[in-house]
Structure 1
């Protein structure tokens, strides 16, 4: 039975640099007003070095009583080392002593909480690591302490201040990429590491192994554009905050997910948006226009800004018109016009690169969906003033789990004279993995009128499927179903399952130009962020409850009436899901070091 019109394969909501690590366990005292609290901390200090310069990454974990403010100090062993530009803290240096104090949003650290800060620096001769840290004036020693007297608020510098203040910008060996558009924005560029995601990853056991990986920033509501006012502690960063942080990191590119169409997520409920089906004017004026204005600030002209345009939208207009809300969005043109307007406004910024979401092979890999989807994308790319020149490429598998490669069989494999296409898993699809699908779909898009140099991205954040259950290529050969089930890399119950999948693992680390036609493997879905809640959780973010996120759900026509395969105890979409993050690390392929 052909399932090509019921396999929506929904997806929700996003290279490790070499680093040397020094873990110094210690404690934090508190200001004079809290002098009798027991305090303690762990500090992790890592660097990414280049000739004459480096990036310092510092993670502070509070293992004592809650803090409302903190001051971190350490001393550079080499007198030539200088902090030049920092982020996520107020940085200063006197002689060899470095001081970092909290910002308004990361000053409160509960017991067990962490925050990550960093800086760009310069060195000559050598770049040894600091060997001692203090937090609020007390030397870190891995325990807790009840101080009887408060530390001085400003200890005297150990050496005279430098006669010449440090420069305000780091001296990279090569100028940061940016400016006029290049063919592939990922080549030769360092990706932006979201400090908010990095802090959450670092708080997990072993999370520091991947916490310096570039991930995308999701702009999933109007309020996310500005973030939380700086006067409110621990509030989320806004678009400009992230762009400023990218400049401070000397990043070459930053990735945003543009994700707030009217009537969003028309065939599922976990990521319903804030805008109603008829609010296209508000989408334009209150959402896209402010983002375009910020991204167009000349301040960011040397930063490659990559936008992932509206996942879970246009493919629904091909495969899910039996759903009333999807039919409404098709009839009123909200998705096509909304995507076209976003492409037009954002594409007018010279250093912006737009990539349209293109589902995945388990969604539009059938002949009846493949060509019509390309045609729908072309329609959107020429709506509301947009042209194909506003489209730099497309992305597949965003926030999904489809395997990148399937090394143990191809679409042409036969078992006792029966094609693997006839197996229940493949179900007459023309593709068995994301790489072959993305390369073929790219050619289809070019045939439909897109520029011949468009590139594809593949989200590999959760499609590794490693661990002990990863197939080795062995198994039965008696029937095509047994053959495929024993050898398929994707271990989901059904390819239509999309929510918090049990057994999934981290996939290929982000890398530029890995295969012909592929601009990059990327982590657009930040590992550890939930796809949706496993039970109804009331919230003010417009996030509904979808039974496909319920591990007890026995399915519907879109997943062949199979179990959902979802993990239990999941929070709402976008919220941190610690159990999933740990499972993704455990099942990573390639494995983590």
Structure 2
């Protein structure tokens, strides 16, 4: 299978800009039933030499790298494969090619990869495709991250750099959170800088080139009805304040910068953990809360999200991504379709349209692994499916990437555009360190197999607050897999999820027992311990001990 590409690529940081890459990738296999040899040829179709190259692609099945490969440095993380040029073939002159290969094992089907990237350039759509150098400035693109730098938030960067070892990641791009009316002009816990000043900084970092500014719009009335730690400033009925004092001023600022700086691509994450609560945490479910029942009855979550989509969707350089929970929340059969239907309702009422939704994001501010490399949902042990294990508990998914791609198809089936892209927040889901498994678990029974295989070190997949043992995940990356627009650090590492004990505050944030390390759980997490770190500050405030743990347990390691 040959795939061609022409464009600029990668997720760049600060003012860095990628050189144009023109390439084609030819992928063939020699398959013997339980394994195969992958032969890959990378052709440089540009006018200048590729001085060093990195090829990335992904499998959809359980293909596993065997050995070290040849004519390149091969590695695999989950389903994601990376090959770097090595020695004599690290430089590919214009018009020439380099070949590399490796052996793999597999069972079941052996579908070929559908997308390749070379130095961050997504292969496909030869010549002038979305995100390519030929795009006129300001034109909407299929994937805003391709061929663009990404904003490094100076507020977060300074805090990270001040930590021991933090300089290793202080130049990574993270999102700006607008979590109160006051945050628009500055002074919120995570960001002392106002939105307009952040955008000025982004324009300066962009230096006239395509550039992504990531922001989170997060201040619904009755915000986060099921988690007290992230409650907000607006009461359940204050929908007019939400529209007039929060959304409208943000939209006015974004419209001004959109008109003046058409190369600025504004990725806007819409209302974390809102709509899924109306599916899973309302009566008659055992996990219901009266606050979520109230928000479902008054309709202000749906109305607020609809209004935000319609206002921001009218701005040409804004790319709206709606929060879609994570596999440990929405992955069950009775949650998946109901959630997609509710998202479609929110995107088609009160003036909103599915055209206002560029995509969805999963795992925002959460800890579920991007991929589980050592077991899949299709595995069985002694005739027992892993779905029957205590950990999986009949879920359809075991990691966020398979969930994101599966949920994407469900969303399309409910009426969203077939071109929607997905984001995965990888800021805290690496689960490295000494406890990380190095291979599949024992096959004595299904529970032993899953427990020994899983990277996820939580007591339960629904645990969400300041999780002990977590580490930084995949670094921000554009288009890592077909259908995934980016791995992104939306939750800035080092910012707390909630206080581990009650702290009086003027921010409207309550005390949630899921942030208490002594808490023994509730029906929502099957009465497991919370797994939270001790001595945590309020949500959004800097938590040095967590930051240090994230550095120590980073995977890939720093």
What TM bracket, shorter-length normalisation?
0.7 to 0.9
For residue 320 of structure 1, the aligned residue among 259, 272, 281 is: 281
Q: Any conservation in 2 of the 1:177–1:188 contact (CA below 8 Å)?
A: no
What secondary structure is seen at the aligned counterpart in 2 of 1:249?
helix
Specify which of 241, 252, 257 is matched with residue 282 of structure 1: 241
1:182 to 141, 146, 150: 141
Could you tell me which residue of structure 2 aligns to residue 398 of structure 1? 364
8 Å Cα contact 1:439-1:517 kept in structure 2:
yes
Match of 2:184 in 1: 225
Q: How has the CA–CA distance of structure 1 residues 526 and 178 changed in structure 2, closer, same or farther, with 3 Å as cutoff?
A: farther
Partner of 2:43: none
Counterparts of 1:175 and 1:567 in 2: how far apart (Å)?
49
Distance in structure 2 (CA, Å) of the matches to 1:195 and 1:216: 11
List aligned pairs for 1:183-222, cutoff 5 A: 183-222=142-181
| 8 Å Cα contact 1:177-1:252 kept in structure 2 | no
Equivalent residue number for residue 135 of structure 1: none
1:125-524 maps to which residues of 2 (within 5 A)?
179-228=138-187, 236-250=192-206, 252-297=211-256, 298-321=259-282, 322-524=288-490
Call closer, same or farther: CA 1:519–1:463 in 2, change over 3 Å. Answer: same
Task: State the Cα deviation string for residues 219-252 of structure 1 (Å, max 9, x = none).
Answer: 00000001159xxxx9811110100000011170
Cα–Cα, structure 1 residues 175 and 199, in superposed 2: closer, same or farther, change >3 Å? farther
Structure 2: state its 5+ residue gaps: 1-9, 20-132, 283-287
CA contact (8 A) 1:254 1:304 kept: yes
How far has the Cα of 1:180 moved from its partner? Answer: 2.4
1:240–1:294 CA contact under 8 A, matched in 2: yes
Count how many residue pairs are aligned between Structure 1 and Structure 2.
Answer: 425
Task: Tell me by how many angstroms 1:176 deviates.
Answer: 11
Q: Is the 8 A contact 1:16 1:212 kept in 2?
A: no
Change in Cα spacing, 1:49 to 1:267, as seen in structure 2 (3 Å) is: closer
SS of the equivalent of 1:588 reads: coil
Deviation at 1:476, TM superposition (A): 2.4
**Hey, what does 1:124 align to over in structure 2?**
none
RMSD: 2.0
CA contact (8 A) 1:176 1:252 kept: no
Distance, in Å, in 1 between the alignment partners of 2:16 and 2:160 is 18
Describe the shift of the 1:357–1:49 C-alpha distance in structure 2 as closer, same or farther (beyond 3 A): closer
Contact 2:494 2:543 (C-alpha < 8 Å) held by counterparts: yes
How far apart, in 2, do the equivalents of 1:178 and 1:315 lie?
A: 36
1:578 to 544, 548, 551: 544
Q: Secondary structure at the match of 1:190?
A: strand
Alpha-carbon distance in structure 1 between the residues aligned to 2:497 and 2:487: 20
Is the partner of 2:534 in helix, strand or coil?
coil
Q: Separation in 2 of the partners of 1:360 and 1:49?
A: 32
* CA–CA distance in structure 2, aligned partners of residues 454 and 429 of structure 1: 24
SS of the aligned residue for 2:307 comes to helix
2:110 alignment counterpart: none
How far apart, CA to CA, are the structure 1 residues paired with 2:360 and 2:194? 25
Task: Give the Cα separation in 1 of the matches to 2:11 and 2:543.
Answer: 22
Q: Matched residues in 2 for 1:307 and 1:291: separation? A: 11
Quote the Cα distance in structure 2 between the aligned partners of 1:350 and 1:18: 23
TM-score under structure 2 length normalisation: 0.74
Q: Distance in 2 between matches of 1:319 and 1:185?
A: 32
Q: Is the 8 A contact 1:419 1:480 kept in 2?
A: yes
The gaps in structure 1 that reach 5 residues or longer are 1-14, 20-46, 52-173
CA contact (8 A) 2:430 2:556 kept: yes
Q: Whole-Å Cα distance in 2 between the matches of residues 49 and 451 of structure 1?
A: 30
Partner of 1:308, secondary structure, is strand
CA distance in 1, matches of 2:193, 2:383: 57
C-alpha displacement of 1:474: 4.3
Shift in Å, 1:301: 2.8
**How far, CA to CA, are the matches of 1:399 and 1:438 in structure 2?**
15
CA distance in 2, matches of 1:536, 1:176: 52
CA contact (8 A) 1:267 1:325 kept: yes
Please give the per-residue CA displacement for 1:47-76, whole angstroms capped at 9, x wherever unaligned: 96989xxxxxxxxxxxxxxxxxxxxxxxxx
Larger radius of gyration between Structure 1 and Structure 2:
1
SS of match in other structure, 2:404: helix
